[in-house]
Chains A and B, each alone.
Chain A
């Protein structure tokens, strides 16, 4: 199916565990983004990528790792999950970082217990 897909939709993990959130897009968009959304904070950028093998930090990168070996995939890894990382995570893609809107995936609701 064309579009941007995230998996899993829901995840519960324990503090200290490593967890990876997946993001896959079929448009060959150059840019991909990871956001977290929390009440009172809105969407905050974690990491973004301009192309395969090019990634950069956003506003709140601490505790997260990303990679982009292929244009279509942009996984986000929480190396050692903490309760403060409980959030809804959205992946997005776009042809441009600035001039086009972003298309968001359906999100992953992550709970760290």
Chain B
């Protein structure tokens, strides 16, 4: 059973701080790594994806991938109260379907 694990949280950070969300996965052959944001009562929306080891930046978001250690993380710089949501990590190996983690709830305190 391929697994994707995330700390359920809540992770609380003050406004303006860096929020660090982590995700580990069990399938060493995983190739694609996606981050989704889900506001309470809403559907998930894609915010970042990464395929290669290292960092990928998009505005205030940075995805970090370390395939050797089998973890992927999402950093949110200058966190805002509007970033308060659940963040889902999704991982897949080519030829297979994505496996979603349970999500980490982030709370950004004004």
Give the B-binding residues of A (Cβ under 8 A): 35, 40-45, 48, 58-59, 90, 97-99, 101-107
Report how far A52 CA is from B96 CA in the complex, Å: 19
Report how far A45 CA is from B34 CA in the complex, Å: 16
Report whether B32 and A43 are in contact in the complex, using a CB–CB cutoff of 8 Å.
no
Give the A-binding residues of B (Cβ under 8 A): 31-32, 34, 36, 42-46, 49, 88, 92, 94-98, 100-103
Q: Which of B88, B97, B103 contacts A97 (CB 8 A)?
A: B97
Report how far A42 CA is from B25 CA in the complex, Å: 14
Q: Which residues of A contact B31 (CB under 8 A)?
A: 98
Report whether A58 and B97 are in contact in the complex, using a CB–CB cutoff of 8 Å.
yes
Q: Which residues of B contact A45 (CB under 8 A)?
A: 97-98
A interface majority secondary structure: loop
Q: Which residues of A contact B100 (CB under 8 A)?
A: 35, 42-44
Report how far A28 CA is from B103 CA in the complex, Å: 29
Report whether B43 and A107 are in contact in the complex, using a CB–CB cutoff of 8 Å.
yes
Shortest Cβ distance from residue B21 to the other chain A in the assembled complex, whole angstroms: 14
Report whether B32 and A42 are in contact in the complex, using a CB–CB cutoff of 8 Å.
no
Report how far A58 CA is from B43 CA in the complex, Å: 20
